[in-house]
């Protein structure tokens, strides 16, 4: 398809697509002449992922480029490729390594992963951005005087396990490996507001059931 | 306790506490003289909530003031008071009401709530910020070409239901109603990074189990 059709089918303005092409977020089309190129379904899909990262995830262009480089790295096996892409997605505040509250929170995070039997998080993933984000979140709760120990965290972690399983089920609907990795990144970002809004709706429902 | 002790026990600098007092985010202490006042455990607790909203939730001061006004409104019953406080917490992007994708997303959200039997969300809460956030999240997924129908949403909603139940269990550990409402607001904000980081850790674990 030509640029105009890519723009119409994706709902992304031509000028924005040209910007993504210049920034290397979208691979070039097949050149037909000096001014025309042909784009395929892969471009349409990639455009969805770029929009998910930039519009919904509010990821800066340079970070989006790193995420996409990981998505495109087919030298890795499937698990490593998913991991490299997830690693590059921004993860919020970093913990302060010198702080004693952070040290204690790291102990709680490790104990939680051990209780869950999540061996990957304790091994190769022990210093992943997601692990550091968890340590910082636990530290923040404790500094503010709210309870956040393994007992409190366990029900949240079990729910997160179910969500992650649903996430991977969704990516497995895609046939090719590249599409699966793209979908894993996009769905990680796009389902965050879904999860947070459903939690708040569920809180309202649960409060209605318990207290009225 | 005096301001210096409040500062030490909360870890919040005295200058910041004075700023919160001036902005009305913290109620004044009991005046002992023109320059000294006495603060209680309620001030310490409230300080934790203010920090949760402003530092972790990145809520603007004016919005934090609205949330706290709802927390303090003891003319409401418990369910309504929790709801008023939750309503005031920021909820991300608003949907575009004139857009046909939004209209379809609203239909999906309603069908989802019906399937779940979440009658409150369809009734009094039908135009809540959480509902609008869900509609916008579904619209964003669809515009980007990712699957987001009732079948895909159901497992996420069921997990959200379990999380909300854990949330309310935590608030019920507090004795007084005012403390419960404060905790509900703080835990809603503070557990968001916990949930998102645990989901990403669980994705890594699940990927490790499935693909290696």
Percent of chain A whose predicted confidence (pLDDT) is above 70: 97
Residues of B in contact with A78 (CB under 8 A): 207, 211
User: Which of these ranges, A43-47, A142-146, B149-153, has the smallest mean pLDDT?
Assistant: A142-146
User: Are the CB atoms for A92 and B200 separated by under 8 Å?
Assistant: no
The mean pLDDT value for B20-34 works out to 91
Q: Tell me, what DSSP letter sits at residue A62?
A: H
The overall average pLDDT reported for chain B is: 87
Q: Which domains does chain A have, with CATH numbers?
A: 3-75 (1.10.1660.10), 86-211 (no CATH)
Q: How many CA atoms lie within 13 A of A200 on its CB side?
A: 31
User: Hey, are the CB atoms on B193 and A133 less than 8 Å from each other?
Assistant: yes
Q: What pLDDT digit, counting tens, does each position of A68-121 carry?
A: 888 888 888 888 888 788 777 777 777 777 788 889 999 999 999 999 998 876
User: Are the CB atoms for A113 and A122 separated by under 8 Å?
Assistant: yes
User: Hey, are the CB atoms on B190 and A144 less than 8 Å from each other?
Assistant: yes
User: Are the CB atoms for A180 and A76 separated by under 8 Å?
Assistant: no
Give B125's pLDDT tier (boundaries 50, 70, 90): low
Residues of B in contact with A152 (CB under 8 A): 166, 170
User: Are the CB atoms for B158 and A162 separated by under 8 Å?
Assistant: yes
User: Hey, are the CB atoms on A201 and B160 less than 8 Å from each other?
Assistant: yes
Look at residue A60 in the predicted model and tell me its pLDDT.
Answer: 86
Burial (CB < 10 A; 0-12, 13-18, 19+), residue B57, is buried
Measure A32 CA to nearest chain B CA, in Å.
27
């Amino acid at each position: 398809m030509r640029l105009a059709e890519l723009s119409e089918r994706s709902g992304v303005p031509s000028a924005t697509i040209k910007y993504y092409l210049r920034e290397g977020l979208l691979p070039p089309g097949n050149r037909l002449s000096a001014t025309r190129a042909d784009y395929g379904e892969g471009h349409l899909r990639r455009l969805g992922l770029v929009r998910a990262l930039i519009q919904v995830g509010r990821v800066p262009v340079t970070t989006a480029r790193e995420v996409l480089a990981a998505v495109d790295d087919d030298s890795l096996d499937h698990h490593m490729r998913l991991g490299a892409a997830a690693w590059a997605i921004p993860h919020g505040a970093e913990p302060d390594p010198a702080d004693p509250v952070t040290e204690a929170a790291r102990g709680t995070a490790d104990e939680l992963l051990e209780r869950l039997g999540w061996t990957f998080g304790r091994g190769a993933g022990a210093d992943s951005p997601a692990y550091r984000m968890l340590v910082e979140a636990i530290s923040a709760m404790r500094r503010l005087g709210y309870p956040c120990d393994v007992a409190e965290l366990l029900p949240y972690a079990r729910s997160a396990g179910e969500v992650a399983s649903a996430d991977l089920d969704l990516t497995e609907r895609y046939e090719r490996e590249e599409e699966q990795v793209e979908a894993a990144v996009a769905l990680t970002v796009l389902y965050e507001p879904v999860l947070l809004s459903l939690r708040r709706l569920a809180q309202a429902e649960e409060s209605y059931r318990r207290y009225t």
